[in-house]
Amino acid sequence: MNTLAINQLSTFRWEFEEDAQAYASHGFDGIGLFRPKVDDFGIDRCSDLLRELDLSVTSLSWAGGFTGSDGRGFDDAVRDAMDAVIDAANLRAGSLVVLAGGRNNHIRKHARRTLCQALKQVSAVAEEFGVLLSLEPFHPGCGQEWSFINDLESTLHILESVGSPNLGLVLDTYHVGMDEEVLSWLPHVSEHLHLLQLGDGRHSPLGEMNRCLLGDGCVPIGEIVHTLLDLGYDGPIEAEVIGEDVESLDYEMVLGHTRSYLDMLTGSKVH
């Protein structure tokens, strides 16, 4: 059964405890954790609270930036990712989300080689600790500084090159769902899919990420979800609702709307 969850970025202004209490009260079974919030609250306190509320950790975001686009060197980014793997293990997270980093003036071949080198090192630690790594492609319209991996095909090529059994991917419908070919790629993606994130938008991403309430945009979320469920996907389904269109909305309303939408979308196939 797929676990229904929501990512902490959806309630960005709240503190960790407020997030967890509200998600549980709205009937979510899982939570996507944001590392800065975890660091502020403390891993041990996070684990205790989530155990008390019976919330599973569907993801921990994020590690990566191996190309230096965020100002860190390669070795620093790799060490941080290894630390994140250990945190993910302690939190019993379903997966650790990994972002490649922007091209940072590298030629694409060099950026790809750098990413694969980092993923091989981090994957070795992930295999030791039993943690799944999930590489996430970002739409180029809003994620050039976050990732030079922008589509499902490129992501699959990286997974093949690295060859770790613990390395898979995140499919975020906001980033890849507006691609006209997305449905045709789902059979190739499903066996590598660790996390399905749901995001919607009223137009193709341009500039900052600007998601709308699920179902209010133009992303074919229903088709994507139902296709993946039919293909046997049984991993977490995690909503991420963030951006200018929703930042002024009451968080309780956002959570209620999101839970109702997920129930409508998935019916009895999930819990």
Domain ranges of the chain: 4-269
* Backbone φ and ψ of 14, nearest 5°: -80, 155
169, 137 contact by CB (below 8 A): yes
Q: What pLDDT sits at residue 269?
A: 46
Rounded CA gap, 214 and 262, in Å? 9
Q: How many CB atoms lie within 10 A of CB 232?
A: 8
> Tens of pLDDT along the chain (271 residues)?
899 999 999 999 999 999 999 999 999 999 999 999 999 999 999 999 999 999 999 999 999 999 988 889 999 999 999 999 999 999 999 999 999 999 877 788 999 999 999 999 999 999 999 999 999 999 999 877 889 999 999 999 999 999 999 999 999 999 999 999 999 999 999 999 999 999 999 999 888 889 999 999 999 999 999 999 999 999 999 999 999 999 999 999 999 999 999 999 988 444 4
Segment (H or E) for 35: helix 35-41
Q: What pLDDT sits at residue 197?
A: 98
Cα atoms in the Cβ-side hemisphere of radius 13 Å centred on 142: 17
Rounded CA gap, 44 and 258, in Å? 29
Q: How far apart are the first and last CA of the chain?
A: 6
Name the DSSP letter for residue 47: H
Rounded CA gap, 146 and 90, in Å? 26
170, 159 contact by CB (below 8 A): no
Q: What pLDDT sits at residue 36?
A: 98
Q: What pLDDT sits at residue 163?
A: 97
**CATH 3.20.20.150 at 4-269, yes or no:** yes
Handedness of CA 137, 270, 16, 240 (dihedral sign): positive
* Backbone φ and ψ of 80, nearest 5°: -65, -40
pLDDT tens column, 151-202 = 999 999 999 999 999 999 999 999 999 999 999 999 999 999 999 999 999 9
Q: Which residue has the tokens 């991993």?
A: 235
Rounded CA gap, 93 and 85, in Å? 9
| Residues linked to residue 34 through DSSP beta bridges, in sequence order | 61
* Backbone φ and ψ of 52, nearest 5°: -65, -35
| Residues linked to residue 193 through DSSP beta bridges, in sequence order | 169
Q: What share of the chain is helix, strand, coil (3-state, %, to 5)?
A: 50, 15, 35
